[in-house]
Amino acid sequence: MRKSGSQSPTFDKIIEASLQLFNQEGERVITTNHIAERMNISTGKLYYHFRNKEEIVNELYQRYVKGMGEQLSAAINHCNSIEAMVGAMEKTLRHIWSFRFLPQSLPSLFCVNPVLAENHQQISRGQLNNKLGQLFARLREQGMLQGDDSQLQHLVQHFQMVQTGWVTSIRNSASAAELERMVEAGCRSLMYLLSPYVSPRFQQPFQRACARFA
């Protein structure tokens, strides 16, 4: 996979327009022509910057993973309070939302885009998984979470699955207000998932944080 990153202003604009359209209408129904049309550029220009549609998707995938990684890293470094955790969670959900076409399309893309399948197996299931594992480990070190290794390992998986399940359950056409409510609901859902593993002495602040979303 090519290294992610903006190569030129046009490159970025294509990526952004694609993301918008993919999120709105679904990657499956958006053609390269749609993207070019929406941007008022020629198809030729689009194909000058990307060899094909796959490459656009792959680049978006890279950006998605990079963003997730950054947020997890930040969370790892600032996981000293329940509030910080909740804040991180919310940010993560928003990030997923801003790439919502991906969780929706990835499984169906794998049969068409083997590069992506390969990447997902290694990167996401590797890198992101790891980081989330580290985060939970750190939280255990700090006494916020408890549980044995295999419990936390499963928690990592479940956490990711619930994130994905969350974004998949929202209508693409949700309004800003609806989104806010959904983000709150998503945070609540994730907190319920963590709740059994929150240490007794952190239960109070945790419940208080939960209340914020009630």
Partner DNA sequence: AATGAATGAGCCTTCATTCAT
Partner DNA sequence: AATGAATGAAGGCTCATTCAT
Query: Using CB under 7 A, which of the segments 37-45, 60-68, 80-88, 144-152 binds DNA?
Result: 37-45
Q: Which of 101, 120, 121 is nearest to 168 (CA)?
A: 101
Binding of DNA by 61 (CB under 7 A): no
Binding of DNA by 2 (CB under 7 A): no
Q: Smallest distance from the beta carbon of 39 to DNA, in angstroms?
A: 9
Residue 137 and residue 152 in contact, taking contact as beta carbons nearer than 8 Å:
yes
Residue 187 and residue 93 in contact, taking contact as beta carbons nearer than 8 Å:
yes
Smaller CB separation from DNA, 51 or 208: 51
Judged by DSSP in three states, 109 sits in: helix
Q: Can you give the binding site for its own copies, defined by CB under 8 A?
A: 25-29, 103-105, 107-108, 110-112, 125, 150-151, 154-155, 157-158, 160-162, 164-166, 168-169, 172, 188-189, 192-193, 195-197
Position among 48, 110, 197, 213 found at the interface with DNA (CB under 7 A): 48
What residue 111 binds from DNA, its own copies, none (CB within 5 to 8 A, per partner kind)? its own copies
158 token code pair: 């479940």
163 token code pair: 């994130």
Q: Which of 102, 32, 35, 115 is nearest to 66 (CA)?
A: 102
Query: Using CB under 7 A, which of the segments 33-41, 99-107, 180-188, 205-213 binds DNA?
Result: 33-41
Provide CB contacts within 8 A for 86, sequence distance 6+.
187, 191, 209, 212
Smaller CB separation from its own copies, 2 or 78: 2
Smaller CB separation from its own copies, 8 or 168: 168
Smaller CB separation from DNA, 53 or 131: 53
Rounded distance between C-alpha atoms, residue 145 and residue 187, angstroms: 17
Q: What angle do CA 111, 114, 115 make, to 5 degrees?
A: 145
Interface with DNA (CB under 7 A)? 8, 10, 29, 31-34, 41-45, 47-49, 51-54
